Amino acid sequence: MTEPSAHAAQRAYSKDYWDIVFEQLGRRRLFQLATVVLALIYASAVYAPLIANDRPYVLEAVDYQGYTKALRTLYPAALSLGKVAKQGEAAYLAARAEGSDFGYQQAVEQERQAVETQLGTLARYAPAEQRATLAELGAATDALAARAQAGDAELGDDAGALKDRAKEVRDAFKPLDPEHPEAGGLALVGVRSYPLFEAIDAWEFFFMVLWAFLLTWPVWNRVVNRVVLGGRRERIRRARKPKLAFVLVVSVAAMLIWRGTVGGSMTFATAPYKDALTSGEIVATHVVFPPIAQGFAETSASENYRPPTWHASAELDEKGYYVRGARVPQADPITGFLPPSVPVQVRRGEAELNAGARHPLGTDSVGRDMLVRLLWGGRVSLAVGLVSALLLVLIGTVIGAVAGFFGGWVDLLISRLIEIVLCFPAFFLILMVVAYTDPSVVPPIIAIVVVIAMVRWTGVARLARGEFLKLRDQEFVVAARALGFSSRRTIFRHILPNAMGPLLVSGAFAVASGILTESALSFLGYGIQHPVPSWGSLIVESRSAEHWWIQVFPGFAIFITVLCYNLVGDAFRDALDPKMKKEGA
């Protein structure tokens, strides 16, 4: 019974502006391809910490070094506490170093804490059933310290008992050496931690959640439209804004929850986990590394300028020496001296020495993996492009709108200003301002974004001005003014939505040009360098033709991104162009 009414609704539905635009865009294969590629590029940037990181997702490990050190220190610490307790306050004060004002209470407390610290370390890794022993020892320690602080004089026996118990614990808690299990000992239990997630900031998590929504949009959008909205186009149209709001609210909520629970932040660009695991300082019972277990700032001195590992010139022998090319170790012809070289070390979690996936895009001057740096660098480049474009469209639209709407001398003044700014070679002007900005006062990334927007707004302003000049005498604007709406309301609620199309198109091109500008700036040495690289600054790592991989791959990433943005902008322009619509119909 519901069928006929649904059909009636379908028939009564009149397409709105965005319906037509999306219909036009849907016909363009290249546009769809470009959108998908862009979504993936952005995903790789947003999820870079999850894809390429030198921190493991999960680490269940025993800090053997720390444990044995605690075990060694436990007995002396207990001994020392016993000594102070036995001594009593008067003797302590008489014996303490001259001029010291370290009181008896403090001294006891300090000794107590020393024992507790060792016990804490032991308890972290000891099996659960053994922890009771440690707790008992802890209780005894506390009791002794409390009595000493209360001024109890006769503590000699208790101190002796504590010492003996500490000795017992020391002998009983000898760890099982994983390399020599036959020697026996206590099988230690690893402590579970999540180093990678602990290094993810709340704002990073926000974008991760947001991007998860965007990537799965085709799926959940369809489900919501069919199931919740019953496939009715009127309702689907009305649901556009609530959907967007829902996605944003959920992402922000996720961010706040993350801040409250994990509260992660990356204090250091590199983490010691891989080195410690490789050298055996800590022993993992369970460890999960990300797909690419390399940090963006993780260096490897012996593996500098290594070509892509799938390439023949990167081949190493089992000792870690180059097999081909100029870097094969050569013995001195006269002395026969073979220069010692540090062989390449394969750290825990990394791919094999000659595996193609070890450094698919090679390494830079200090052995940092180029693929990883490319992934992380995308965050900077893409962000610069996007933010500068947003800012530029905003500035240009406001100024252009004011000029076009008010006309008269305001228009004259703004037009002159636009003309003056247009006269300068934009790139050099940006270069000049960025070069003169003190990086210690304004971070280069912010300087670049702001300067790009401040120099390049003129194009958008001219466009907006033209649109406003065209629209301001149309009936609906005249009607709005006749109704007594304020200028602001007329501009933003009535004219701007109708002028949005061309501005969006110029925004898409502005992102592309922002990425290009930033990379060119970095290439000339005035861009972003540390700690997270940008695509442009990656290319500058080497100008030598020997290191072709350093120049080829980051440039290619820029090229693909710019190409996609140009395709998207072009498709949008065609979709918004009334001439093309006539053709399509």
Partner 1 sequence: MLSYILRRVLLMIPTMLGITLVVFCLIRMAPGDPATVMMGVGSGGAMTEGGTSVQDRVDAFRHKHALDRNLLVQYLGFVGPFNVKPDGHEWFGGSGKDPWGGLLAGDLGNELQRSNVPILEELGRRLGVTLLISLISVIITYLLSIPLGVFSAVRQGTRTDAAVTVVLFLLFSIPTFWAGLMLILAFGKSGLGWLPVLGLESKDAADFGFWQALWDRGLHLILPVATYTYGSFAYLSRQMRAGMMDVIRQDYIRTARAKGLSEKVVVLKHALRNSLIPVITLFASVLPILIGGSVVVEYVFDIPGMGRYAYDGLVQRDYNIIMATTTFSAFATLLGILMSDIAYALVDPRISYD
The footprint of partner 1 (CB under 8 A) covers 416-417, 419-425, 427-429, 431-433, 435-438, 441, 512, 516, 519-520, 523-524, 539, 545-546, 548, 551-552, 555-556, 558-559, 562-563, 566-567, 570
Three-state secondary-structure class, residue 62: strand
State which residue, 34 or 344, has the beta carbon closest to partner 1.
34
In the complex, what is the shortest distance from the CB of residue 490 to partner 1, in angstroms, rounded to a whole number? 30
User: How many residues would you count in the chain?
Assistant: 585
DSSP, res 211: H
The first and second tokens of residue 320, run together, are 């870690």
State which residue, 431 or 460, has the beta carbon closest to partner 1.
431
Q: Residue 284: beta bridge partners?
A: 61
d(CA 86, CA 100): 20
260 Cβ contact list (under 8 Å, min separation 6): none
d(CA 557, CA 147): 70
In the complex, what is the shortest distance from the CB of residue 464 to partner 1, in angstroms, rounded to a whole number? 20
**Amino acid present at 174:** K
State which residue, 367 or 555, has the beta carbon closest to partner 1.
555
In the complex, what is the shortest distance from the CB of residue 420 to partner 1, in angstroms, rounded to a whole number? 4
State which residue, 451 or 491, has the beta carbon closest to partner 1.
451
Distances (CA, A) of 215 to 36, 223, 387, 515: 9, 14, 21, 22
In the complex, what is the shortest distance from the CB of residue 416 to partner 1, in angstroms, rounded to a whole number? 7
Question: Would you list the DSSP string of 461-492?
Answer: HHHHHHHHHHHTTSHHHHHHHHTT--HHHIII
State which residue, 337 or 436, has the beta carbon closest to partner 1.
436
The first and second tokens of residue 158, run together, are 């208790």
Three-state secondary-structure class, residue 52: strand
d(CA 513, CA 451): 13
**Amino acid present at 208:** M
State which residue, 140 or 563, has the beta carbon closest to partner 1.
563
d(CA 297, CA 369): 9
State which residue, 376 or 565, has the beta carbon closest to partner 1.
565
State which residue, 85 or 516, has the beta carbon closest to partner 1.
516
CA 429 distance to own-chain centroid: 31
State which residue, 59 or 447, has the beta carbon closest to partner 1.
447
Q: What is the 3-state secondary structure (H, E, C) of 308-361?
A: CCCCHHHCECCCCCECCCCCCCCCCCCCCCCCCCCCCCCCCCCCCCCCCCCCCC
